[in-house]
Structure 1
Amino acid sequence: MANTSQPMRRTALLASAVAVLGLLTACGDDSGTSSAPRPSGAVEASRTAGPDSGTTTAPAVGAAPGDTGGSASASVRTDGRCHTSALSAAVGRVDPGAGQRNFPIVLTNTSEGTCTLYGYPGAAFVDASGKQLGPDPRRAPASPQTVTLAPGKSAWAGLSFSSPQISGARTATPAALLVTPPDEREPIKVTWTAGEVPVGGNASSVSVTVLDAGTGP
């Protein structure tokens, strides 16, 4: 009987040791040494968190770089003035009278928008090489008014000088008249076909008037 009970006692002790070992292993897992993966819901919440959470949100679909969601319309600022590039120039038919030769200088709006002219045009006679003949015309006293030109509409100014045969001034025959719109620097070249003009002996012999609506008097 003594020999039979001893092996059974050893078996019971071995079983108790295995049970204790299993209990220690289970306690180790609960202590956090081996953690399970985070639920997918936690990851999704991190992606959709707002600005207060410190995360960065992606821009809306279709937004341009730097777009904050507001709309900004591009606008082109213009002063409304007729620039040289928007105009054509011509010299009308001579209107003689009382020893004078009078020509309308006509500026026409060739653009697709409305613009304005105010004041006197510049005028200069030049030879074939582009050299100016005579002094700049004097400005006839007047009160300028704004002339509004719709597309295709014109304004005119009078260019006048005494007939050289009467004034006795030194003359030349220009190749062109350079017409500069008010407040512009770039002139428009118009072929001159009206013969000789005074270029010396009387600095005031050529005059120009303010611009007015239309193509002539």
Structure 2
Amino acid sequence: MRRLPLRSAVAGAAAGPLAVLLGVSLAACGGSTAATVSGSGPAGPGPSTTAPGATGATATGVTAAVGGGSAAPAGRAAARCAAGELTVTLGAAHVNTGDQHERPVILTNRSSRSCAVTGYPGVELVARDGSTYDVVRSPLVRPSRIVLAPGGQTRANLRYLTVSPGADGAFDAVRVLVTPPDTTTSTPLTWDAGPVLDQSGATHPGTWIMAFAAYPK
């Protein structure tokens, strides 16, 4: 049974040659206010680029308000979302290109207060035999501080390469563990998308997770 080592996110974007960080329980945090975006939840796909590269693990982009809320005024910034304040779900899968598919990891603020999410979720696929596959992070979406009003949502797109059952390199996932940023609490979800290609040792794998982002109307 294989278990990959978990690693923490590092502050700042990786420089020089492209680098990859494993998806782990604690995702990046922090950010600076540059703009405010309002909306009722995530909609629409992310970028269509099909290769991950170096990871920028610290948010230096916009602060966005999602779910009809607004950016908190100076001195009253929204606190980070605790695991117990978030509901974690998987959206519907669709074909991106070729054997690469995409589905959103969605966080919903179920609390009565506004709270903030920054960075990447930890995503770990689990096979029937208990072996695990930690999904790497991609810089295709720049991490930013997302303020969720009560009921607000944010999404991080998960892209993955499908493969036929029993094929060489097939990882027969049956569950996926999702850990919100800045928390250590994982939510187990059923994985119903079939086997994915195990590229745990690849330099540029075709399976990765993006940072959470706000999607305006």
Counterpart-to-counterpart distance in 2, 1:97 and 1:136: 17
Map of 1:141-156 to 2, 5 A cutoff?
A: 141-156=140-155
Counterpart-to-counterpart distance in 2, 1:96 and 1:211: 20
Q: Which residue of 1 aligns with 2:84?
A: 85
Gaps of 5+ in 1: 1-77
Map of 1:55-70 to 2, 5 A cutoff?
A: none
Gaps of 5+ in 2: 1-76
Counterpart-to-counterpart distance in 2, 1:133 and 1:81: 28
Q: What is the TM-score with the length of structure 1 in the denominator?
A: 0.55
* Secondary structure of 1:85 counterpart: helix
RCO comparison, higher one (Cα < 8 Å, 6+): 2
Between the aligned residues of both structures, percent identity stands at: 28
Larger Rg: 1
* Secondary structure of 1:134 counterpart: strand
* Secondary structure of 1:103 counterpart: strand
Q: Which residue of 2 aligns with 1:207?
A: 208
Contact 1:118-1:147 at 8 Å conserved across structures: yes
In the alignment of these two chains, the number of paired residues is 137
Change (3 A) 1:126 1:163: closer
Q: What is the TM-score with the length of structure 2 in the denominator?
A: 0.55
Greater helix fraction, Structure 1 or Structure 2: 1
Q: CA-to-partner distance for each residue in 1:67-97, whole Å, 9 max, x for gaps?
A: xxxxxxxxxxx97101111111111111202
| One-letter amino acid of the structure 1 residue matched with residue 162 of structure 2 | S
Q: CA deviation at 1:124?
A: 0.5
For the aligned residue pairs, the C-alpha RMSD in angstroms reads 2.8
Counterpart-to-counterpart distance in 2, 1:200 and 1:170: 8
Q: Which residue of 1 aligns with 2:138?
A: 139
Q: CA deviation at 1:189?
A: 1.3
Contact 1:140-1:207 at 8 Å conserved across structures: no
| One-letter amino acid of the structure 2 residue matched with residue 118 of structure 1 | T
Counterpart-to-counterpart distance in 2, 1:192 and 1:132: 14
Q: CA deviation at 1:201?
A: 6.6
Change (3 A) 1:214 1:142: closer
User: Runs of 4+ in structure 1 displaced over 6 angstroms?
Assistant: none
